[in-house]
Amino acid sequence: MNLKQHTIKQSISFEGVGLHTGKTAVMTFHPAPPHYGIRFIRTDLEGKPEVRAHVDNVVATERGTVLAENGAQVHTVEHVLSALMGMQIDNVRIELSGPEPPIADGSSAPFVELLQQAGKEEQNALRQYICIDEPIYYRDEDRQIEIVALPADEYRLTVMVDYNSSVMGSQHAMLFDWNDYPKQIAPCRTFCFLHEVEYLYSKGLIQGGSLQNAIVIVEKPVEAAQLERLAALFDKEEVAVQSNGILNNLELRFHNEPARHKLLDLIGDLALLGRPLKAHVIATRPGHHANVQFAKKIKAYMEKNPSNDIKQFHPGMPAVLTATQMYEMLPHRYPFCLVDKIIYLDDEQVVGVKNVSIGEPYFQGHFPGNPVMPGVFQIEGMAQTGGILVLNTVPDPSNYWTYLLRVDNCRFRKMVHPGDTIIYHCRITAPIKRGIIKMHSDAYVNNELVCEADMTASIVRKDEEKK
């Protein structure tokens, strides 16, 4: 998957009817800045309220995932979110002139084609991944649903379904290479069983459903009276069940199209975490409710293990700021240049890399027979990394000085030796007030915490200091 975040190059629109509401809407994708995420804007409502695609905003999961925020709802978001995740697009603003995205043909393929037309644009910000250290399980024994996320270096998914159906049988689908998504997963359409259709319609759902945007699976002989009711429901002269057990002889695009669509839905629902996983997700009989509950378990795990975020960063990542660019912003010079590059930077956190060499000048006098990096230099490395974060809050960083005012709760956990590579991770812990910034800083070697501290710094304009 991509190292850096992406958006689209240009705005592009799609119009159609929603599956459940039956209402027509125009959906327009717009480019968005780094760390924006995916947000829906209800342009048909007063004030154009914004609804973020986030698991905390899910309010319903019956035959589709519904989001609500700021007094507005967006229905059936999973196919659009799946297309965006499948295309590895992180930041997009979606204006919607109705309550529900168009259902199109019941798959994500039309949205993928639309995004391909808009084009992808790489952004100068690294993707944030969710990394896990241990299996995360979700079980619903009554519905025979089980989903597990296993630690992995890549995002992979495997789905198995078995509805005890003589027509559909047991199926499985998988996605290990995200380049396969547009052709192997996106074209797979939503489906339901014939016995569900009239019930769903009576519940106010599938108001925009048709035999062109859903696979209707027929397991038992159907009486003529029911076929007449279905013909009226779908505004057809007649409907029939053909030998393949599907209403009106719809041809499957894949022999396991239902399982692939379940995988498509799972991708869309897990996109509500706000960033992709580094895990292998294995799901048996998944559905929207289970998918969302599973996503909430992952979110809870990450809130309890915030340090896992650092595991997505490694020394080989491309630089967001090179050493030359860094020290154009910072006033330090040799031998006090203690960070080699910045590999991540946003409004709240920064990650820097330091390769500790035996040639460092301090090793000449600091335990020369047993070289150990002095703790004060580790603190200085964290302070310089944090200084980049501080300077990133102003539009003209070259006109500012940053000063370290205070260090609290400092702990040295492990020794750092020549040959080690330190990952410095600093994040702002309180709103900036009157030029005072509070940060928490950690230093890692091989994903192990070697040093941590709370820091307070100030930022001062150079011309004001001279006064």
Catalytic residue among 288, 289, 425, 440: 288
3-class SS letters over the chain: CCCEEEEECCCEEEEEECCCCCCEEEEEEEECCCCCCEEEEECCCCCCCEEECCHHHEEECCCCCEEEECCEEECCCHHHHHHHHHCCCCCEEEEECCCCCCCCCCCCHHHHHHHHHHCEEEEEEECCCEECCCCEEEEECCCCEEEEEEECCCCEEEEEEECCCCCCCEEEEEECCHHHHHHHHCCCCCEEEHHHHHHHHHCCCCCCCCCCCCEEECCCCCCHHHHHHHHHHCCCCCCCECCCCEECCCCCCCCCHHHHHHHHHHHHHHHHHCCCEEEEEEEECCCHHHHHHHHHHHHHHHHHCHHHHHHHCCCCCCCCEEHHHHHHHCCCCCCCCCCCEEEEECCCEEEEEEECCCCCHHHHCCCCCCCCCCHHHHHHHHHHHHHHHHHCCCCCHHHEEEEEEEEEEEEECCCCCCCCEEEEEEEECCCCECCEEEEEEEEEECCEEEEEEEEEEEEEEHHHHHC
Q: Which of 159, 371, 138 is nearest to 259 (CA)?
A: 159
Check 35, 172, 366, 417 and give the catalytic one: 366
Q: Which residue is it, tokens 């240049």? A: 337
Q: Is-catalytic flag, 288?
A: yes
261 assigned to active site: no
Catalytic residues: 288, 366
